[in-house]
Amino acid sequence: MDTVCAVPFPRRPTPDPDAAFNRRDWLKLGAAGAAGLVLVPSRAWAHPGNELRLPPLWAGGHLTTAPANLEIWPGTITPALAINGVSPGPTLRLRPGERLATTVVNQLAGENLVLHWHGLLAPAAFDGHPGQAVAPGQSYAVDIPIRQAPATCWYHAHTQGATASQVYRGLAGLLLIEDPDRDAALGLPTGDRDVPLVLRDWKSNTTSSLTYAPTMFEHMWGYLGNTMLVNGTPQAWFAVDQGVWRFRLLNACNARVLRLGFSDDRTFHVIGSDAGLTGLVEPVTAFDLAPGQRAEILVSFAGLPVGGAVVLRSLAFPIVAPLAGPAGPRQGDALDILTFHVDRAGGPTALPSSLPGPVLTDPAESRRTRTFNLGVVNATLTINGLTYDANRVDFSVPAGEVEIWEFVNGTTNYHPMHAHGAHFRVLTRNGVAAVLPADRGWRDTVLVYPSETVRVAVRFGGRAGLFVLHCHNLEHEHEMMQNFSVTTPTPPRLESRREGPDLVVSWPAPADGWGLETSADLRTWSAAATPPLRVGTRFEWRAAATGAARFYRLVLE
């Protein structure tokens, strides 16, 4: 077993030993100093590297993007871009039924900006289409009702022509849709045992900078770093007990595919993907997480002694190409991510044996199949032979529709394909039923491996408007992107019937995104108090019949 306290990268000389203290230790020292005691902070001394930082929680109000000097390496200033002064930005936590209401303020120096809420089924007006970017000095309001299951989502810059550069320099953060009561009832770790991990690579050995300056080669293959930051922490470590912990992983790298596993090959369990729980408690020793994708895992540190450690890594994997190219970081490089130090005994050991999962689209509901050929034409990356054109709408789809999409990768590179305004279910890889842990549940991003063909069943939300489909290798995004328009559908036909004392109003599934409203006078309408239930092929809404006249209608939520 490889359980040494690994020092993943050469330790940077710390000019002042006090700089090795983290903020928490300073606070402890301050308190002790006041009491006239001498207290030696232990943990910061005990482990090389830096204690894992946790992004601050958003307390409401504006989200302001601006240049900032961040202390990523203790004692060193790194110019970056920040949201409310930090990168990753503050974690937005919302519950189903709440609204994401904020104002996005662009205080960047000479750069346009728009933020996209990756994973949210947002109205098109607030989705963060690249064309919605505002000039420096401007701001815009966002108001998005959260009408989806708990999930690990994120937000990031999506500015026309600048997504890669702005995300690399720091404009990204987590957006968690949470239901702690549900999680507690399911026996899932919550609170301090539910730990977000924003994973990204950067080029740190030589410059410690977040400068974005890709070469021609990197424009094609991706801007890859040589070391990892976890929640903005280099050489990160995190102290755990021997129990079961839940980690929410986000691959926020511009281009790096992460093959996540542990230094001792321990088995852990994947329970969630992009849009929430998958319904599986799936044992793995490694799985791939592509840029843009999220996963939730349960890890037990049982079997490690107090004082032991284990390292979360991106494991090496072979690549098809490039066979030659500049020396430097490559796709498939092994990288250490985060060292877990077991510093105390005990902890809850129970793993849930089963978890509730989502009802996924039945591909038989689809009405058409679209093929997206991912290729290279004249050293430019293309979808169906075309690069992105902001003024071209590539296809239209009625809201609530189900379609089969087929991604055919004619290149030797990795393309994590992502759709806004829709979730999908991964069906097959090269014609064979998709069984990777990273294919489970509702997804919004699917990794298409070199030369592979992947089929997914896409369910479009109820929201009409313009959305994009693109490769989430951010160096590819500005070329491998298409606009699609979700068109307003006619509402499904309502039917009603009496069942004893009840009135049952129903309409055909799968039409998504419709909400039922009622009125007594056809003038004032209000949302039905209880949500409809899916019963077989229909949605049903039931209420006690009052005898008074009531009117019902479906509206797009």
Residues lying near Cu ion in the complex (CB under 5 A) are found at 118, 415, 420, 471, 473, 476
Contact (CB, 8 A) for 314 and 228: yes
Least Cβ distance, residue 442 to ligand C2O (angstroms): 15
Q: Which is nearer to ligand C2O, 147 or 156 (CB)?
A: 156
Q: How many CA atoms lie within 13 A of 16 on its CB side?
A: 7
Q: State which residue, 455 or 470, has the beta carbon closest to ligand C2O.
A: 470
Angle CA(350)–CA(353)–CA(354) in degrees, nearest 5?
A: 135
> Which part of the chain contacts ligand C2O (CB under 6 A), choosing from 76-84, 94-102, 311-319, 468-476?
468-476
**Cross-sheet strand order for the sheet of 89-94:** 89-94, 172-177, 151-157, 115-118
Site string for ligand C2O, 82-121 (x = CB under 6 A): ----------------------------------x-x---
How many positions of this chain bind ligand C2O (CB under 6 A)? 10
- Choose the one of Cu ion, ligand C2O, none that binds residue 158, judging by a C-beta under 5 to 8 angstroms depending on kind: ligand C2O
Judged by CB, which is closer to ligand C2O: 156, or 248?
156
470 near ligand C2O, judged by CB under 6 A:
yes
Contact present, 81 and 87 (Cβ < 8 Å) = yes
Identify whether the C-beta of residue 515 lies closer than 8 Å to the C-beta of residue 557. yes
How far apart CA 363 and CA 248 sit, in angstroms, is 29
Q: Least distance from C-beta 446 to ligand C2O, angstroms? A: 13
Binding partner selected for residue 415 from Cu ion, ligand C2O, none, CB under the kind-specific 5 to 8 Å limit: Cu ion
Residue placing its CB nearer to ligand C2O in the complex, 292 or 513: 292
Q: Give the nearest distance from C-beta 477 to ligand C2O in angstroms.
A: 7
Question: Of residues 527-546, which lie at the interface with ligand C2O (CB under 6 A)?
Answer: none
Task: Output Rg (C-alpha) for the chain, integer angstroms.
Answer: 24
Which residue type is seen at 29?
A: L
Q: How many CA atoms lie within 13 A of 38 on its CB side?
A: 0
420 contacts ligand C2O (rule: CB under 6 A): yes
Which one, 204 or 413, has the nearer CB to Cu ion?
Answer: 413
Residue number with CB closer to Cu ion (415 or 478) = 415
Instruction: Decide if 465 contacts 486 (C-beta within 8 A).
Output: yes
Contact window for ligand C2O (CB under 6 A) among 48-56, 76-84, 276-284, 466-474: 466-474
CA distances from 195 to 46, 187, 282, 297, 321 (A): 22, 16, 19, 10, 35
Give dist(CA 13, CA 17) in Å, integer: 9
One character per residue 273-292, x = contact with ligand C2O (rule: CB under 6 A): -------------------x
Q: What distance in Å separates the CA atoms of residue 120 and residue 98, rounded to the nearest whole number? A: 13
In this structure, is the dihedral angle defined by the CA atoms of residues 117, 193, 70 and 7, taken in order, positive or negative?
negative
Q: How far is the CB of 418 from Cu ion (least distance, A)?
A: 5
Tokens of 19: 């700089």
Binding part of the chain for ligand C2O, among 89-97, 364-372, 465-473, 499-507 by CB under 6 A, reads: 465-473
* Binds 292: which of ligand C2O, Cu ion, none (CB < 5-8 Å by kind): ligand C2O
Could you give the CA distance from residue 99 to residue 121 in angstroms, rounded to a whole number?
12
- Give me the residues paired with residue 106 across strands: 65
Separation of alpha carbons 159 and 392, rounded Å: 17
Q: Which does 471 bind (CB under 5 to 8 A by kind): Cu ion, ligand C2O, none?
A: Cu ion
- Position 494: which residue type? L
Q: Which two tokens stand for residue 133?
A: 């970017």
* CB nearer Cu ion, residue 167 or residue 270: 167
Quote the CA–CA distance of 488 and 314 in Å, as a whole number.
Answer: 43
Distance (Å) of CA 555 to CA 303, 448, 458, 477: 54, 36, 22, 34
Which does residue 443 touch among Cu ion, ligand C2O, none (CB within 5 to 8 A, set by kind)? none
Identify what 53 binds: ligand C2O, Cu ion, none; CB under 5 to 8 Å per kind: none
Q: Which residue has the tokens 């990753």?
A: 88
Q: Which stretch binds ligand C2O (CB under 6 A): 29-37, 375-383, 467-475, 544-552?
A: 467-475
> 169, 246, 418, 443: which one contacts ligand C2O (CB under 6 A)?
418
Q: Which residue is nearest to ligand C2O (CB)?
A: 118
415 binds ligand C2O (CB under 6 A): no
CA distance 244 to 302: 8
Q: Which amino acid is at 500?
A: G
Applying CB under 6 A, does 313 fall inside the site for ligand C2O? no
Which of Cu ion, ligand C2O, none is residue 176 near (CB under 5 to 8 Å by kind)?
A: none
Compare residues 315 and 374 and give the one whose CB is closer to ligand C2O.
Answer: 374
Q: CA-to-CA distance for 521 and 526, rounded, in angstroms?
A: 11
Exposed / middle / buried, residue 414 (Cβ in 10 Å: 0-12, 13-18, 19+): buried
By CB under 6 A, which span of 249-257, 311-319, 356-364, 464-472 interacts with ligand C2O? Answer: 464-472
Contact 556, 517 (CB under 8 A): no
Q: Scanning residues 148 to 207, which ones bind ligand C2O (CB under 6 A)? A: 156, 158
> For residues 274 and 296, which CB has a smaller minimum distance to ligand C2O in the complex?
274
Query: CA 304 to CA 340: how far, in whole Å?
Result: 10
Q: To the nearest whole angstrom, how small is the minimum distance from the Cβ of residue 107 to ligand C2O?
A: 22
Among Cu ion, ligand C2O, none, partner that 476 touches (CB below 5 to 8 angstroms by kind):
Cu ion
**Residue numbers at the binding site for ligand C2O (CB under 6 A):** 116, 118, 156, 158, 292, 418, 420, 468, 470, 472
